[in-house]
Amino acid sequence: MITLRNLEKFYEGGYGRSYVLRRINMEIREGEFVTIMGPSGAGKSTLLSILGMLDGAWTGEFEFQGHMVHRMKPRERVELNKKYIGFVFQSYHLIDNLTVYENLDIPLSYRNVKSSERAALVCDTLDRFHIVGKRDLFPSQLSGGQQQLVAVARAVIANPRLILADEPTGNLHSSQGREIMELFKKLNEEGVTIVQVTHSEANAAYGHRIVQLADGWILK
């Protein structure tokens, strides 16, 4: 599904280039459940944003389901994201001036889901994540953990082929965290490819293999 060849990312600073990702070679097959681990600042979120087509400022090659992402225009990359990918951000990134209900409806609006089905899907999802009572609240009216639940719900609602999740359970109680991980496991068994970033050994155990990043390098 994904092949990265010699992918690199750097920022231009006062003292020259500072590299955040170095010579990343990686293959993720359809149906895999991969965990990315590593210390703070290792480049995990950076790598995930690139995989999610949210960042185009890098060098090297990135093939996604036969599409040559490195040759794409930003708009084409965004289309791939909308069509195939559900993303859980480390800091949630809910849209502040939309209610929980409206936030969940956004990914459906990107796909060809009929508006009658959209309402039913949003209601089912609110129910599944035990947040029915929060449907008309804005993100600022939710606790951190509740925002995280909405962020996970938004990532899975439109049946993406690929879920990219950055510390998806970091702010949840352990039983809620387990529920999210069980959901990911079930989706993965149904064929969804998952890449998660986590500091938790327990969460990592849900995946098939671990990719270790340190200072922007993949450790072999």
Residues in the site for ligand ATP, rule: CB under 6 A? 11, 20, 38, 40-46, 90
- As beta bridge partners, residue 210 has 35
User: Looking at beta carbons only, is 125 or 198 nearer to ligand ATP?
Assistant: 198
Which residue, 40 or 116, is less far from ligand ATP as judged by CB?
40
Minimum gap (Å) between residue 68 Cβ and Mg ion: 27
42 binds, among ligand ATP, Mg ion, none (CB under 5 to 8 A by kind): ligand ATP
- The span from the CA of 88 to the CA of 151, in Å, is 6
Residue 211 CB, nearest approach to ligand ATP (Å):
12
For ligand ATP, the closer of residues 91 and 109 by Cβ is 91
203: its two tokens: 């969460």
User: Which one of ligand ATP, Mg ion, none interacts with residue 46, CB within 5 to 8 A by kind?
Assistant: ligand ATP
Tell the smallest beta-carbon distance from residue 199 to ligand ATP (Å).
7
Q: Which does 107 bind (CB under 5 to 8 A by kind): ligand ATP, Mg ion, none?
A: none
Give residue number: closest CB to Mg ion. 45
CB 103 within 8 A of CB 152: no
Query: Minimum distance between the CB of residue 11 and ligand ATP, rounded to whole angstroms?
Result: 4
105 versus 166: smaller Cβ distance to ligand ATP: 166
Residue closer to Mg ion, measured from CB, 45 or 146:
45
- Cα–Cα distance measured from residue 204 to residue 218, given in angstroms and rounded to the nearest whole number: 17
Do the strands 85-88 and 67-68 form a parallel or antiparallel pair, or are they unpaired?
unpaired
102 touches 149 (CB < 8 A): no
User: Which amino acid is residue 60, in one-letter code?
Assistant: G
Q: How many CB atoms neighbour CB 218 within 10 A? A: 20
Which residues are 165's β-sheet partners? 88, 196
Q: What is the DSSP letter of 58?
A: -
- Residue from 34, 42, 45, 154 in contact with Mg ion (CB under 5 A): 45
Q: How far is CA 194 from CA 20, 51, 70, in A?
A: 23, 11, 22
Binding site for Mg ion (CB under 5 A): 45, 90
